[in-house]
Amino acid sequence: MVKKALKGTYITLMYLFLYLPIFLLIVYSFNDSRYRGSWSGFTFRWYRELFQDRTIVAALYNTFTIALLAALIATVIGTVSAVAIHNMSPKAKVFFMNVTYLPVLNPDIVIGISLLALFVWMQLKLGFITLLLAHITFNIPYVILAVLPKLKQLNPHLEEAALDLGATPLQAFFKVILPEIMPGVITGALLAFTLSLDDFMVSFFTTGSGINTLSIKIYSMTKLGVSPKINALSALLFIGVIGLLGVLQARIRKIYD
Amino acid sequence: MRKKWLAIPYALWALIFSVIPILLIAIYSFCSRSPYGNIVYTFTWDNYRRFLEPIYLNVLWRSVVLAVQSTIICFLLGYPMALLIARSDIKKRSLMILLFILPLWTNFLLRTYAWMVLLRDQGVINQFLIALGIIEEPLKLLYTNGAVLLGMVYNFLPFMVLPIYAVLSKLDHSLIEAAEDLGATSLEVFMKVIFPLSIPGVISGTIMVFMPAVSTFIISDLLGGGQTILLGNLIQNQFLVARNWQFGSSISIIMISMILVCMAIMGRYREEGGELW
């Protein structure tokens, strides 16, 4: 009995440790007091102020445009590459999978500074385009990793049957293979969108003056200390991303089962 | 077989945006600096030699110590948790593990910022302690080494729990029963059967916590307030503030080498654990 209570307490404490800070951050975004940590009434004021701040609205717009475009492009490239990797010899497959894991395992700061070095070396102007290229780069591997399991489950005779019945390889891909792997493709796209929305480190190094994403905006605001406006912005981003992840988790489970 | 050619766009993309950038950093780390700070393509060891100066070795030392400390704390907190989750019934298990996966996919910056709200002088913790009458003046919690350590443990704990859980949940239960039938106490079962079998997961977890902990710059930047300079801060500083890309590159290469060594060790254990999903 005592042992069970101890276990229960430990589990509860751990989950409180993980989620209480985020929960309090969200609660405090509704706190009327500007400076003090004590509670002084419920308000939507900080959320109103957020949407009146032009730089924040611009950051919101950039974040969504980049996330959408990066997810779209990464999904196309990633899906095509997954099909290619699936059909490779085992040796080539291992090589490509290692390349795919490179950005997944490399520390974000190294991805950030090395892309910065590349863009400056290529004499690209840092800004929207460089951000987009960077986001596509870190998104592609996740799309590949989401599509590959679906390809493995695919019946290899399906495509042969389509080809035997006179479909061109392109028709066979769009009418037979793609519908079958669609759940993986959509999951990959959602995953890419979420990661892009959420990214700070890579964006921080690859953006230029004047182009902010929400995360970069939040970072520059934290330099001035804690403010209820950052709490509100953080709460919004948190709830959005957690919502997306909830949807994703269910999909990913299905793919791997 | 023609489908192989479909890999060309990705191969090119990966070459340009994943491989060449790293090569560029490697080249810069051996380049000299013009009097105006520009990159001069003549070979030098200076950028690596500079890292051997006491200030920078100190930064390396501090980063490694903090990363080791946070790894140990994550292990001590995370192992029991992984064990408890692995032993819960199947229905609860997936939700419990999902709650550990979710934070990993949310923004590190935001999760670290949440601790700024809690730890600052007018923050929730200080207000709470003052209201209870335990303290009169706010404690200095933010901008300390302790705060950085806390931030690391908070952010990286799931990296420890997940691989250990992955190994423990696949453990062959008949081994435990056999040990019990042969008269082992529950402590003996743990020390002689469960723990040795879970070591691959512990190694994966250790590496997965150590890697981001040693390369972080957000956590030390927000919670250390510029007083805790770690490798990550040094790199960021050299690239964005001091504009000494050659030196920044050499520090990055040193960090990548450390991580490659870790990955080589991890590769041996990849079969048994280390899955993130």
pLDDT given at position B273: 44
Contacts of B162 in chain A (CB under 8 A): none
pLDDT in tens, B186-226: 888 888 889 998 888 898 888 889 888 988 888 999 998 87
Q: Which residue of A lies nearest to B15 if distances are taken between CA atoms?
A: A99
Q: Does B165 have pLDDT greater than 50? A: yes
Residue pairs spanning A and B at CB distance below 8 A = 209
CA atoms of A93 and B81, how far apart (whole Å): 36
CB contact under 8 A, A115 and B21: yes
Q: Which residue of B lies nearest to A252 if distances are taken between CA atoms?
A: B277
pLDDT given at position B2: 59
pLDDT given at position B62: 92
Tokens representing B92? 């609860």
Contacts of B260 in chain A (CB under 8 A): none
B41 touches chain A (CB under 8 A): no
Q: For testing the chain A interface, which of B10, B75, B84, B208 should be mutated: the one with the most A CBs within 10 Å?
A: B10
Percentage of the residues of chain B whose pLDDT score is greater than 70: 94
pLDDT given at position A78: 93
What kind and span of H or E run contains B40? strand B39-43
- Single pTM value for the model: 0.86
pLDDT band at B242 (very low <50, low <70, confident <90, very high): confident
Contacts of B106 in chain A (CB under 8 A): 198, 238, 241-242, 245
Nearest to B14 among A14, A99, A116 (CB): A99
pLDDT given at position A71: 96
Q: Residue B31 in 3-state DSSP? A: strand
As for the ipTM of the complex, it is 0.85
pLDDT given at position B97: 87
Q: Which residue of A lies nearest to B116 if distances are taken between CA atoms?
A: A226
Query: Which amino acid is located at A257 in the chain?
Result: D
Cα angle for residues B15, B18, B20 (degrees, 5° grid): 60
Q: Which residues of chain B form beta strands (DSSP E)?
A: 31-33, 39-43
Judge whether A110 lies within some domain: yes
pLDDT given at position B272: 46
Q: Does B275 have pLDDT greater than 70? A: no
Judge whether A241 lies within some domain: yes
Average pLDDT over residues B140-157: 92
For chain A, which ranges sit under pLDDT 70? 34-38, 255-257
CA atoms of A256 and A159, how far apart (whole Å): 22
pLDDT given at position A133: 96
Tokens representing A62? 């950039």
**Which domain CATH number covers A209?**
1.10.3720.10
Judge whether A80 lies within some domain: yes
pLDDT given at position A250: 75
pLDDT band at B269 (very low <50, low <70, confident <90, very high): low
Q: Does B37 have pLDDT greater than 80? A: no
CB contact under 8 A, A84 and B10: yes
Contact A204, A219 (CB under 8 A): yes
pLDDT in tens, A148-198: 988 888 888 888 888 889 888 888 888 888 988 998 899 899 989 988 988
Q: Does B277 have pLDDT greater than 50? A: no
Nearest to B252 among A10, A110, A198 (CB): A110
Q: For testing the chain B interface, which of A12, A94, A109 should be mutated: the one with the most B CBs within 10 Å?
A: A109
Judge whether A16 lies within some domain: no
Q: Which residue of A lies nearest to B101 if distances are taken between CA atoms?
A: A249
Per domain, the residue ranges of chain B are: 54-269
Q: Residue B98 in 3-state DSSP? A: helix
pLDDT given at position B25: 94
pLDDT in tens, B80-136: 999 999 988 888 888 888 888 888 777 888 889 889 888 888 888 888 888 888 888
CB contact under 8 A, A21 and B1: no
CA atoms of B144 and B126, how far apart (whole Å): 15
Cα angle for residues A18, A21, A24 (degrees, 5° grid): 135
Contacts of B220 in chain A (CB under 8 A): none
CATH of domain B54-269: 1.10.3720.10
The domain of A81 spans: 53-256
Judge whether A24 lies within some domain: no
- As for how many domains chain A has, the answer is 1
Q: Which residue of B lies nearest to A115 if distances are taken between CA atoms?
A: B21
CB contact under 8 A, A81 and B6: yes
Q: Does B58 have pLDDT greater than 50? A: yes
pLDDT given at position A108: 85
